[in-house]
Amino acid sequence: MYPLRYILLVNRRISYVNKNLFHTSSVLHTFWERDDKGGYNTKTSVPIKERMRLGLQELKKEIELWKKEIKEDFESDPVLAFRPGETDIMWKFGTEESLQQWVVTSDSDHNEGYSKGSLTLTNTGKGLFSGELSTKVPKDGRTKRAGYCNIKTLRARKSFKRETYLDWNNYNMLVLKVRGDGRSYMVNIATRGYYDVLWNDIYHFVLWTRGGPYWQITKIPFSKFFLSSKGRIQDKQYPIPLNKITSFGISAGDKVNGPFSLEIDYVGLEFDPNHTEEFAYEMYKAPKYIVAV
């Protein structure tokens, strides 16, 4: 039996350790995202009356979109919707309305760099993603890397502001008709999931351009895209969930200072029956706590 004085001393020391442990440990939010924009949320609150007024102004557009949905439901028979070897156009440039389906961002928009980008129409009606990349890092003591510009389509949605997903299950190829400047770009396919841990899941593949006066048609199998989250390539890879596509984008960020220019005619989808690869990267089960998911 231990003396009472010894027991009280041990209990007091344990209490002291626990108190200091809980009061000095740093708080980790590993499994919780504060917002879906990762701290870059620029939304502003709009009064209810103003939202009602704007909603009534858009009512006609939403009804037209609803009619289009009903028409697509009747024409969505997989046998009639696509044919092997034919390219179905998803996004095509040519009018000012086609530009409204895209959002342009760069590091300078968030005071994290000096790059500038834009998306305009050329004289021939093609989309022109251009600007100037700068890898100069601002002296704010916070930013570590800089030098990117990005274009991204708006979130897929139905009528009356209902968010939805694009279903690309019937295809296995991404097709782009572009004319570049010889630089390399990154093609991005976002698959934002329901849970916050999946909000930043994006699949990437490199788009190499030739430069010169000729157009190029690039076909990229979906099996070649690799998974990343918040810009970090994941050790454990998964194929793209083709029925959960939320947006498509192209990024310029090859760490080369100077102007860039990429003309885009269209972005489409194709089913190639000769391509049978399911996934190009290793899919294996690693021991727990060894591979980061």
One DSSP character per residue, 118-176 reads EEEE-TTS-EEEEEEE--PPPSSSS------EEEEEPPPEEGGGEE--B--TT--EEEE
Cβ(98)–Cβ(128) under 8 Å? no
Q: 60 and 133 share a domain?
A: no
**Domains: count for the chain:** 2
Q: 180 and 232 share a domain?
A: yes
What is the pLDDT of the chain when averaged over all its residues? 82
Pick from 76, 97, 118: which residue ends a domain? 76
Q: 52 and 111 share a domain?
A: no
The residue among 173, 188, 145 whose CA lies nearest residue 273 is 173
Is residue 41 in some structural domain? Answer: no
Q: 57 and 140 share a domain?
A: no
Q: 72 and 128 share a domain?
A: no
Q: 155 and 193 share a domain?
A: yes
Q: How far apart are CA 89 and CA 98, in angstroms?
A: 13
pLDDT score recorded for residue 74: 63
pLDDT score recorded for residue 73: 67
pLDDT score recorded for residue 41: 66
Is residue 173 in some structural domain? Answer: yes
Q: How far apart are CA 146 and CA 138, in angstroms?
A: 8
How many Cα atoms occupy the beta-carbon half-sphere of 24 within 13 Å? 6
Is residue 226 in some structural domain? Answer: yes
Mean of the pLDDT values across residues 81-97?
84
The answer to whether the Cα torsion of 100, 103, 104, 109 is positive or negative is positive
pLDDT score recorded for residue 234: 87
Could you give the 3-state DSSP secondary structure of residue 55?
helix
Is residue 26 in some structural domain? Answer: no
Q: 100 and 53 share a domain?
A: no
CATH of the domain at 174: 2.60.120.430
Is residue 277 in some structural domain? Answer: no
Is residue 137 in some structural domain? Answer: yes
Q: 176 and 204 share a domain?
A: yes
Is the confidence at residue 201, as pLDDT, over 60? yes
Q: 253 and 112 share a domain?
A: yes
- The pLDDT tens digits of the residues spanning 130-150 come to 999 999 999 888 888 899 999
Q: 168 and 57 share a domain?
A: no
Residue 235: which pLDDT band, with cuts at 50, 70 and 90?
confident
Residue 64: which pLDDT band, with cuts at 50, 70 and 90?
confident
- Domain limits at 67? 46-76
| Number of residues that make up the chain | 293
Residue 67: which pLDDT band, with cuts at 50, 70 and 90?
confident
Q: How far apart are CA 218 and CA 185, in angstroms?
A: 12
Q: 53 and 127 share a domain?
A: no
- The pLDDT tens digits of the residues spanning 18-39 come to 444 444 444 445 556 666 666 6
Is residue 285 in some structural domain? Answer: no
**pTM score of the predicted model:** 0.77
Q: 65 and 120 share a domain?
A: no
Is residue 291 in some structural domain? Answer: no
